Structure 1
């Protein structure tokens, strides 16, 4: 990509914003050096990395990168034998801590079965050097101070230092407290000069203390004297400090050698952490600008939904739908100045550059961008006084350069093509340039004022007109891009609203050709029709979603009602059976009592009379076996099979059998609804003619039913895809398939998420999983059917 294009399309400003979201100087460095890639595979990987980081931020909120510092120069110095300072070793320790924390953080997410691909690969490359980290933290604190515990020798030296210093202070304080101190000292304090303890003595009493003069005040009235009585102690103190310094140097040298020994691993850890930081930098920026991951193709196809310019404030930017490369490869945008043509042009170019750089784009989910070998832009007034170039000449220099290089793998953006010269010549030149670029197969978007170019889109296939909307009522542009509608002049309408007399306006219109007036009228009609169509589409979509929600709610309520009804039936039958059993037991007990009574009292009750009594008791009890007898009779008449037409007795509705759920229940399709119904509540009606023989439920019937073991949804719109899944699962169940595969592709993940959500709540689905690597990975969902 040309650096000039990156500047013109303001990609460098995006990078300046991106840098602010890096956690370390390493991430900042990568953000500053970011450039769009022209390799399709690289762009796909970069988009996957950004999306993965965004997923982690969405689930976890933050990442443990605290302590990460760019220590590459420090490590390289340690490798050549340099002794690192305590502060530098502290930075090494912090980076090792960040490495260990980050590795554990990612491992934990993998354990939680969060689907990640790129972060685990980087995590596995990180080498945990906890022993090196521990040695440094045991010797140096967070402020870079070498601790007493770093070595026994250092501990002893510092103990001697503290003891000697205490003795020095004790002697000097006794001098300060003496009766003569007030007269001879300028101030009753102990101070330090040349790293030795001294007293501030007045000039005239310098002989009273003896010792060594180390300094004097600016006026010369005070001398800073080291009294003779503490000279030896100060010498001892200095010697101890020298020993302390030597011991600290020895400790730092040992730790530096330890770091040098593991320099390769540490440098590789730094590279891995830098890559992670950069991934999360892109993800944080995407969250800030409300960006989404675009699908990426290598076919020159662009489809942006509600795309926004990322550098404009949210309350000012107007989202636009931009499509290019499918039905047409060239867009000619006409309309007034300050209407938003250039912003639309820059939005398209900048979103393309951002996507090729691995950044998510400020557009709705489902947007798609192409990977181009080059993006060319001729935008803005580039008049050059130094080179004696006019506006027209400057544009032509750019255009000549573009025409030398452009090919079918290019995206070309022209702003005010042909401007700056005679209108008739400029329009002719603009048409010629557009033809040349179009014939080379490039994707082109051009803005222009020339009315002649409005006809350009009608005369050539693959070219479409567009305009930016202008509100006559407010005399201001709406900045909304209208693809398929050419721009029209609003001069007469604006003049009228500003108070110009109708007579003058009518005279001006008379100067216009009839063809021109007809074209403007046609354009106005197109704008009105497009607005009305957009309103109707929005309203239709709203009604469709409400109907879909109502259908789901109704189906849920019916299923819930049937489940409750079945539960109540079962509960009632169970209670009835319990009562029946109690009645039988009571009858049996009565019979036994009667027999005992006859035996004990030699009553004349005969056995056959007892049997008759028992029979009458049984006949007197409520009978609950009727449904079972009917069920048995029905089964004797006809064995039910999937596909049979039946009548659901409790609903008095006809339906057909889908599958047998268990020994007592069938799944029945009644109109648009499916529900579980007890077999005893079914009455056989008829069997379809194509059913020639009974097959076991477990037999695969794919050939008979022409049902594939796979359903390919790639390229389908979201709503159509879900409808196809619903029908396919019904067909697969009818065919008796135990398992099927649904191919939805990876893409943005929207279709995959929608399919997974639908399968999770589907009545016929037992379980789902993503395909293995050999089956298509996360682009395929394998469904186990009930």
Structure 2
């Protein structure tokens, strides 16, 4: 019998001990959904990571829309509960849409255009799905009548409870609701003082009686309820008709919500458990760093590099070999379905596999009448049907002779590799491990045993074959030392020597790991010092920025003093202001400036285009003979560049030219546009130095080209606050008043 895909996934989840983790993850879905998201996984992962970067509230629990859409297609009438399911989804998308998010989430939400017709339905439902009766005058009035009749019924019942005639028969004075009927709890013989219908019996033998005195009010309420139900049905019919017209929009919301639900469940599950979101890469490489299987508590993180075709795990019994195998397969499974897990996402890498298969349990049982080894062979035969699969086999030699199994499984593994499978196995077969150890496509790992404390460490070493420590494990679990000693003698000296060699290799590997640890600690120390240097560099940079700002303020103060001096007009006042400005300028030592020598002489080193040479003769100032790469070339002096440099002494010149009042005008009549703009630029610079806030520019009317050029220049000048046409007596359209 062929197992369906869903059953295969459930079986794999059970085999890998992921049941609790997956069930916990499913609780974050708003409605039941498949673990796998159909479509482009890369695109799904982009949306998930974008959603992970923002904070948002979880969506409400929502029912499946299949029956709702089917009813609308057939123009059926939906119940209010079904209509509210649609309202909940639209309201949630509106909540996201109103946040005006950026990026792909914002672009996604922009696709939701809610029709005004939908609001005509939505407004009748409260946030918890109750019908807004206040929007209908008739319904509101009927509701008030029902409340009035119920109040009358309660008053009537309370009068009965206080009646002296009835009090001897009352068991209590409470009003009980039995089968939707208000009733009193009385003893036998009540019929002499109370007329009514018995609606139930109590455990103590009492009678629940609904008095006849409230029958009239009950009948009135039933009549009103029927009238309300008719109105509600008309509303449901009207709402269903409107929603039928919006069926494409509802189908779109349904599809997008299913996709969004898959995204948000992963994001909120990861945040709640402090897990990482990892997607499988487009290769078969598996590298896990800091991975913790979700079924383990206080577990040691797993670090494994499974880049080759086969990973063979050996070593001590109960040392964690099976859990390592399950962890590798579990990581691949969760990455395939983008299910959050615990690992270092930046240092881990999980490949992609079409199928993930596990051969873990003992297939032998009474019902199928099959041996362990025969069952294993059946399971292996099924693996050959797949390609590009990740296969995990626990205790590969289970159920048969070790020597025969070593040869058989070596050939089986070779054949599976040819079919593109990637296989991780656990084994106690040193012979099988030895047969595979010298291959480049096989990675060995061994579970480490603590000889001193005689316990497994639940850590693993790469590149070695581990010892099983069967005798030590037997002692640890209660087998007497006498039996263990005799077993060692039967096992033989040569076999024990082989184990000693294996353990020696393991010891050397541990020593190497310790040395690597010391090197890593030194690297961490170097990184810490590097970080300190970066922080010191940042601190110096901030101090430099502060000093630059102080200098900038000093220069601005000096410039303001210079402007005040220019505005003063009085020569003495100008000199006093300039002296004050010079005092405010910081006195700093300037580095020697490097400038090019302006004149050329015989023997100078020069550059002609991209070639370097030496001047050997000069006919006059205009022509020079230069020797370049052994050839003499006659060139124009102006085409040469001097390669010699000289150091000039630092010099600071402060020149201030104060122009007359006539400098407030700039006359551009008769100039070409380029010439006029150059003149205007110089004029504005002089005006700013002299401290003038307003000037006038004459450009005339003419063809309008010069006027246009002046306006465009003034628009872009950073120091021009505004400009406008001059008054008629100052030139009108032929001039501009400019405010600086």
Number of aligned residue pairs: 578
Q: What TM-score do you get using the length of structure 1 for normalisation?
A: 0.61
1:194 and 1:529 mapped to 2: Cα distance? 79
Q: 1:99 to 1:214 in 2, by over 3 A?
A: same
SS in 1 for 2:420: coil
1:413 aligns with one of 383, 386, 392: 392
Q: 1:43 to 1:624 in 2, by over 3 A?
A: closer
Q: 1:638 to 1:458 in 2, by over 3 A?
A: farther
What is residue 371 of structure 1 aligned with on the other side?
Answer: 352
Q: 1:207 to 1:323 in 2, by over 3 A?
A: closer
Moved more, 184-193 or 11-20: 184-193
* Contact in 1 for aligned 2:186/2:206 (Cα 8 Å): no
Deviation at 1:72, TM superposition (A): 4.8
1:515 and 1:19 mapped to 2: Cα distance? 53
Paired residues for 1:322-721 under 5 Å: 322-325=304-307, 328-366=308-346, 367-402=348-383, 404-407=384-387, 409-490=388-469, 511-512=493-494, 516=498, 519-520=501-502, 522-566=504-548, 634-635=594-595, 637=597
Deviation at 1:334, TM superposition (A): 0.9
Deviation at 1:335, TM superposition (A): 0.8
What is residue 66 of structure 1 aligned with on the other side?
Answer: 60
Structure 2 unmatched ranges of 5 or more: 600-641, 646-740
SS in 2 for 1:262: helix
**2:41 maps to 1:43:** yes
2:80 aligns with one of 86, 89, 100: 89
Deviation at 1:685, TM superposition (A): 11
For 1:8-60, what per-residue CA distance to the aligned partner results, in whole angstroms no more than 9, with x for missing partners? Answer: 234555432212223x3x1xx11xx32588xxx7433343343333333xxx1
* Contact in 2 for aligned 1:469/1:477 (Cα 8 Å): yes
Deviation at 1:525, TM superposition (A): 4.3
Greater relative contact order (Cα 8 A, min sep 6): structure 1 or 2?
A: 1
Q: 1:471 to 1:417 in 2, by over 3 A?
A: same
**2:124 maps to 1:135:** yes
1:302 aligns with one of 286, 311, 314: 286
SS in 1 for 2:335: helix
Q: 1:49 to 1:12 in 2, by over 3 A?
A: farther
1:286 aligns with one of 270, 283, 287: 270
* Contact in 2 for aligned 1:90/1:136 (Cα 8 Å): no
Q: What TM-score do you get using the length of structure 2 for normalisation?
A: 0.64
1:116 aligns with one of 104, 121, 128: 104
What is residue 152 of structure 1 aligned with on the other side?
Answer: 137
Q: 1:503 to 1:566 in 2, by over 3 A?
A: same
Q: 1:528 to 1:499 in 2, by over 3 A?
A: farther
Deviation at 1:383, TM superposition (A): 1.8
* Contact in 2 for aligned 1:50/1:283 (Cα 8 Å): yes
Deviation at 1:379, TM superposition (A): 1.2
* Contact in 1 for aligned 2:447/2:459 (Cα 8 Å): yes
For 1:430-477, what per-residue CA distance to the aligned partner results, in whole angstroms no more than 9, with x for missing partners? Answer: 222222222333211111101113323442221121112222222222
Q: 1:47 to 1:359 in 2, by over 3 A?
A: farther
What is residue 99 of structure 1 aligned with on the other side?
Answer: 90
2:343 and 2:475 mapped to 1: Cα distance? 38
What is residue 16 of structure 1 aligned with on the other side?
Answer: 23
* Contact in 2 for aligned 1:331/1:445 (Cα 8 Å): yes
Deviation at 1:540, TM superposition (A): 3.5
SS in 2 for 1:520: helix
**2:15 maps to 1:34:** no
* Contact in 1 for aligned 2:597/2:644 (Cα 8 Å): no
2:153 and 2:313 mapped to 1: Cα distance? 88
1:194 and 1:568 mapped to 2: Cα distance? 86
For 1:141-167, what per-residue CA distance to the aligned partner results, in whole angstroms no more than 9, with x for missing partners? Answer: 9585773x3543444555566667778
Deviation at 1:312, TM superposition (A): 1.5
Higher-Rg structure is 2
What is residue 603 of structure 1 aligned with on the other side?
Answer: none
1:122 and 1:529 mapped to 2: Cα distance? 57
Structure 1 unmatched ranges of 5 or more: 593-613, 640-683, 688-786
What is residue 182 of structure 1 aligned with on the other side?
Answer: 165
Q: 1:201 to 1:552 in 2, by over 3 A?
A: closer
1:126 and 1:559 mapped to 2: Cα distance? 51
C-alpha RMSD of the superposition: 5.3
Deviation at 1:243, TM superposition (A): 4.6
* Contact in 1 for aligned 2:276/2:345 (Cα 8 Å): yes
Q: 1:63 to 1:256 in 2, by over 3 A?
A: farther
* Contact in 2 for aligned 1:64/1:105 (Cα 8 Å): no
Q: 1:48 to 1:473 in 2, by over 3 A?
A: farther
Q: 1:470 to 1:122 in 2, by over 3 A?
A: farther
